[in-house]
Amino acid sequence: HALVAIADNTRENTKFVTKMYDLLLLKCACLFPDSNLEAVLNNDGLSPLMMAAKTGKIGVFQHIIRREVT
Q: What are 7-32's pLDDT values in tens digits?
A: 999 999 999 999 999 999 999 999 99
User: CA-to-CA distance for 20 and 18, rounded, in angstroms?
Assistant: 5
Has residue 65 got a pLDDT over 80?
A: yes
Has residue 70 got a pLDDT over 80?
A: no
Has residue 58 got a pLDDT over 80?
A: yes
Check if the beta carbon of residue 48 is closer than 8 Å to that of residue 4: yes
